[in-house]
């Protein structure tokens, strides 16, 4: 709002006093007229009072507008700084100031309590993740030492458990303010081949062909976090591809991971990477959480990498990791 509009609002707020002033002038004029006194003296006195009143009104409006601007500046801050509030004028404003201070104290207590609970939950989850790795490793050794017809399937299920545990740990780290990003120049092919070796048993188990083309590119990234992103994308490709080929190649400034799987519905594509969104495929696969691609998109944003997908139902999906 402009100063003129605020002045109009201010005048309307004080309209009662202005009307009372003119009523008093009218009463004095009527009394002087009844007693046949000089009415001009009343109007002259009224004019002088109006001039003085206008000066006082303008001074009070300047103070009002200055207080309004200070309050607007405080309102635009994320956290209200109570000690910067203007000094109250009158009992009502003093009551409002006390109310604001009380609410702010309650807000700070609630934030402190919530932060404490959140930190406790993070500590418990982190401890659980690290503890669960020991029995997972023991199970892996037992499976390798006692091979049966079910060993390949058991190995795949154990690998999935490891991925879910790693996903939880990544989610915890992503929400931490002390996330350890180390940006350096890495060989993209080295990172991709490392992830492929990790997922090789899944390729063999599902009898899928891998077409990994030469990627002679160095990129500025964080090796650990980018490896997680590529692993999640490849895991999704393996999960939703039953026959055919998974192709990995680099074109222009993007790493492409292409599969011949079931594809993604057109209406679901714009929401890929939303937290908890699973789409049509997720509703078919009741175990899907939608967390993997959400983490991928969040990590790419923090690393300043692009992340988007193209797909057709029944024809497969292409995921682009763009290096800006």
pLDDT mean across residues, the chain: 81
Q: What is the mean pLDDT of residues 267-271?
A: 86
Most confident of the following: 29-43, 84-98, 223-237 = 223-237
DSSP assigned state of 176 = -
Q: What is the mean pLDDT of residues 136-141?
A: 76
How confident is the model at residue 115, as a pLDDT?
72
How confident is the model at residue 75, as a pLDDT?
63
pLDDT over 70 at 156, yes or no = yes
pLDDT over 90 at 3, yes or no = no
pLDDT band for 266, please (50, 70, 90 cuts). confident
pLDDT over 60 at 34, yes or no = yes
How confident is the model at residue 246, as a pLDDT?
94
How confident is the model at residue 169, as a pLDDT?
77
How confident is the model at residue 74, as a pLDDT?
63
pLDDT band for 218, please (50, 70, 90 cuts). very high
pLDDT over 80 at 125, yes or no = no
How confident is the model at residue 14, as a pLDDT?
78
pLDDT over 60 at 274, yes or no = yes
What tens digit of pLDDT does each residue of 85-112 get? 667 776 667 777 777 777 777 877 887 7
Q: What is the mean pLDDT of residues 37-41?
A: 72
Find residue 311's DSSP bridge partners.
317
For the chain, the C-alpha Rg in angstroms (whole number) is 35
pLDDT over 90 at 165, yes or no = no
Residue among 318, 319, 309, 317 nearest 263 (CA): 317
144 CB neighbour count, 10 Å cutoff: 10
How confident is the model at residue 219, as a pLDDT?
94
pLDDT over 80 at 313, yes or no = yes
How confident is the model at residue 24, as a pLDDT?
81
Backbone phi, psi, residue 45, to 5°? -65, -40
How confident is the model at residue 1, as a pLDDT?
60
Q: Compute the distance between CA of residue 3 and CA of residue 253 in angstroms, rounded to an integer.
A: 52
What tens digit of pLDDT does each residue of 287-307 get? 566 788 888 998 999 899 999
Q: Compute the distance between CA of residue 201 and CA of residue 42 in angstroms, rounded to an integer.
A: 103
Contacts of 291 (CB under 8 A, 6+ apart): 167, 171, 275, 276
Q: Where are the alpha helices (DSSP H) in the chain?
A: 3-13, 15-34, 39-75, 91-145, 151-174, 188-206, 223-239, 279-284, 291-303
pLDDT band for 146, please (50, 70, 90 cuts). confident
How confident is the model at residue 116, as a pLDDT?
73
pLDDT over 70 at 192, yes or no = yes
pLDDT band for 281, please (50, 70, 90 cuts). low
Is pTM beyond 0.85? Reply is no
């Amino acid at each position: 709002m402009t100063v003129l509009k605020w002045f109009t609002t201010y005048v309307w707020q004080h309209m009662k006093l202005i009307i009372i002033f003119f009523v008093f002038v009218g009463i004095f004029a009527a009394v002087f007229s009844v007693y046949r006194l000089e009415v001009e003296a009343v109007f002259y006195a009224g004019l002088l009072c109006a001039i003085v009143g206008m000066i006082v009104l303008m001074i009070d409006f300047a103070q009002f507008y200055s207080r309004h601007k200070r309050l607007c500046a405080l309102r635009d801050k994320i956290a209200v700084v109570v000690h910067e509030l203007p000094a109250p004028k009158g009992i009502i404003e003093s009551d409002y100031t006390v109310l604001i201070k009380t609410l702010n104290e309650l807000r700070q207590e609630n934030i402190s309590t919530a932060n404490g609970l959140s930190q406790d939950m993070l500590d418990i989850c982190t401890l659980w993740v690290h503890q669960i790795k020991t029995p997972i490793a023991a199970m892996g050794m037992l499976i390798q030492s006692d091979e049966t017809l079910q060993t390949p399937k058991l190995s795949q299920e154990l690998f999935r458990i490891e991925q879910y545990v790693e996903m939880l740990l990544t989610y915890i780290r992503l929400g931490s303010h002390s996330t350890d990003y180390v940006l350096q120049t890495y060989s993209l092919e080295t990172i991709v081949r490392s992830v492929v070796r990790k997922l090789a048993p899944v390729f063999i188990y599902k009898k899928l062909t891998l077409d990994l083309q030469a990627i002679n590119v160095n990129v500025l990234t964080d090796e650990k976090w980018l490896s997680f992103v590529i692993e999640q994308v490849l895991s999704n490709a393996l999960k939703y591809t039953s026959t055919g080929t998974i192709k990995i190649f680099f074109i222009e400034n993007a790493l492409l991971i292409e599969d011949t799987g079931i594809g993604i519905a057109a209406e679901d594509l714009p929401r890929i990477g939303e937290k908890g969104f699973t789409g049509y495929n997720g509703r078919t696969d009741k175990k899907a959480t939608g967390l993997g691609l959400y983490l991928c998109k969040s990590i790419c944003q923090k690393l300043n990498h692009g992340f988007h997908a193209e797909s057709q139902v029944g024809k497969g999906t292409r995921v682009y990791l763009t290096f800006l």
